[in-house]
């Protein structure tokens, strides 16, 4: 039976990652389950990507929890510099796009 057409099983993945932890080459690891070195390399790459994604989530969790606990201001506070900037630009664009300039104070 040709092993190349079958996906890796969980036991084979375990053998691959254990061999990698021991410092064996991809060819040496591939000889145990009878897989080519390229398959071993792809399995290791998938494992590294999954580990990296979990690390990113773990690092981001305290930041996200802190932001949720502090609460978020959902509206622009009237009278702030940002409110004034947004308001002025919205009024400006509305005046440029409208044909009658009665809304613009002109």
Contact yes or no for 39/16 (Cβ under 8 A): no
List pLDDT tens digits, range 15-71: 898 999 999 999 999 998 899 999 999 988 888 777 777 777 777 776 666 666 666
In which band, very low, low, confident or very high, does the pLDDT at 83 lie, cut at 50, 70 and 90? confident
CA distance 15 to 56: 26
DSSP conformational letter for 74: -
In which band, very low, low, confident or very high, does the pLDDT at 1 lie, cut at 50, 70 and 90? very low
Contact yes or no for 29/15 (Cβ under 8 A): yes
Contact yes or no for 103/94 (Cβ under 8 A): yes
**Is the full-model pTM beyond 0.75?**
no
Contact yes or no for 35/26 (Cβ under 8 A): no
């Amino acid at each position: 039976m040709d092993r190349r057409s079958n996906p890796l099983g969980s036991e084979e993945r375990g053998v691959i990652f254990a061999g990698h932890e021991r410092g064996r080459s991809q060819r040496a690891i591939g000889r145990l389950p009878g897989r080519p070195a390229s398959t071993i390399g792809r399995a290791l790459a998938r494992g590294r990507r999954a580990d990296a994604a979990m690390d990113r989530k773990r690092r981001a969790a305290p930041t996200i929890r802190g932001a949720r606990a502090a609460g978020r201001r959902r509206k622009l506070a009237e009278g702030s510099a940002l409110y004034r900037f947004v308001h002025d630009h919205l009024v400006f664009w509305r005046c440029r796009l409208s044909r009658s300039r009665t809304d613009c104070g002109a």
